[in-house]
Amino acid sequence: MARLGKNRYGKSRVRLSRITRVKNPDSTEHHEFNEWTVGVLLEGDFDASFTAADNSKVLPTDTMKNTVYSLARGSRAATIEEFAMELGDYLLANHAHIEQVSVEIDEKSWERLAIDGALAVTTFKMGGPEVQTVRAARAREGAWQIASGIDGLTLLKTANSAFTGYIRDRLTTLQPATDRILGTRATVAWDCISSAPDFAAVRGRILAALLKTFAGHRSMSVQHTLFDMGKAALAAAPEIARIHLAMPNLHHLLADLSPFGQDNPNHIFVPVDEPYGTIEATIER
């Protein structure tokens, strides 16, 4: 005897770019540019589409794609968080059989290009490999649950990082290090206490706190640095309840130059993509 369990469906990787034309105080104009990748998932009264081949309550995923583009055309949302809520509210308002909507948006970090000390009017450069993220969910009678974040925050420091005092057994070959490279490609997510803070300001303060702490931290391990980064983010943003950091340890191994009759005083390293250490934790108030 089979029965249908929890289910949902939607549209993934709906990509769009948006140009916003901004009037300057001197009546000139500059452009702002956004590039988003949007995903939508719906839960609700869709059982018959699975069990009885009845599509009468199925909103086509192609329609979801078109809804993203149509809403974006008239949207005044300044952040991915605001647009995620706008999109989800629209779907709930227009389809009574939808019980819950989840919206995920990733945003690439495009920045206006600086030329001779002035920001270009219509020219942009990619600000970094990282993307801004939001994962937003709302049940029909509930409030929005917003988890904003950053994916791919790539950082490296060449000093003030050590790893000593760990367990050593017969299979341990790693040598203690008091001065090593610390590199990571962090994924960060934080839960907002309020559903409508100044998302851009909160994101800016959290990112600044994370970067400042990483740069100035005397690291005894990735775990040590991760916790202090999370603690600093909570202090910088009282609007969030918790923050989750996943910080893989991207190794740079000291090259052995002894076969060539050369020493290597922490000068030449070999980057190793895999395997890598995986460290993650949630820091809460």
| Cα distance between residue 109 and residue 130, in whole Å | 7
11 included as an active-site residue: yes
| Cα distance between residue 246 and residue 279, in whole Å | 6
- Could you tell me the CA-to-CA distances from 266 to 13, 221, 254, 263, 270 in Å, in that order? 43, 18, 7, 9, 11
113 in Cβ contact with 134 (< 8 Å): no
pLDDT tens-digit readout, 13-25: 999 999 999 999 9
**At which residue do the structure tokens 């009759």 appear?**
261
pLDDT score for 194: 74
**At which residue do the structure tokens 């060449």 appear?**
158
Please report the domains of the chain, with CATH numbers, ordered by start residue.
9-139 (3.10.270.10), 153-284 (3.10.270.10)
**At which residue do the structure tokens 């078109």 appear?**
66
61 included as an active-site residue: yes
pLDDT over threshold 70, residue 70? yes
User: Could you check whether the bond before residue 275 is cis, i.e. omega within 30 degrees of 0?
Assistant: yes
Residue of 30, 37, 57, 61 marked catalytic: 61
262: tokens are 């050369």
Residue of 133, 184, 217, 251 marked catalytic: 251
pLDDT score for 273: 86
Nearest CA-CA partner of 78 in 13, 31, 32: 32
Average pLDDT over residues 207-216: 98
Nearest CA-CA partner of 161 in 212, 216, 220: 220
pLDDT score for 278: 96
pLDDT score for 251: 94
Q: What is the mean pLDDT of the chain?
A: 96
pLDDT score for 46: 97
The pLDDT confidence band at residue 128, using thresholds 50, 70 and 90, is: confident
| Cα distance between residue 156 and residue 172, in whole Å | 25
Average pLDDT over residues 168-188: 95
Average pLDDT over residues 166-173: 96
**What are the two backbone dihedrals, phi and then psi, of residue 2, each rounded to the nearest 5 degrees?**
-110, 145
Share of the chain above pLDDT 70, in %: 100
Average pLDDT over residues 121-144: 95
Residue type, 24: N
176 in Cβ contact with 152 (< 8 Å): no
219: tokens are 């690291």
pLDDT tens-digit readout, 38-58: 999 999 999 999 999 999 999
Q: Which residues pair with 277 in a beta bridge?
A: 249
51 in Cβ contact with 71 (< 8 Å): no
The pLDDT confidence band at residue 195, using thresholds 50, 70 and 90, is: low
Neighbour tally for 126: CB within 10 Å:
10
The pLDDT confidence band at residue 27, using thresholds 50, 70 and 90, is: confident
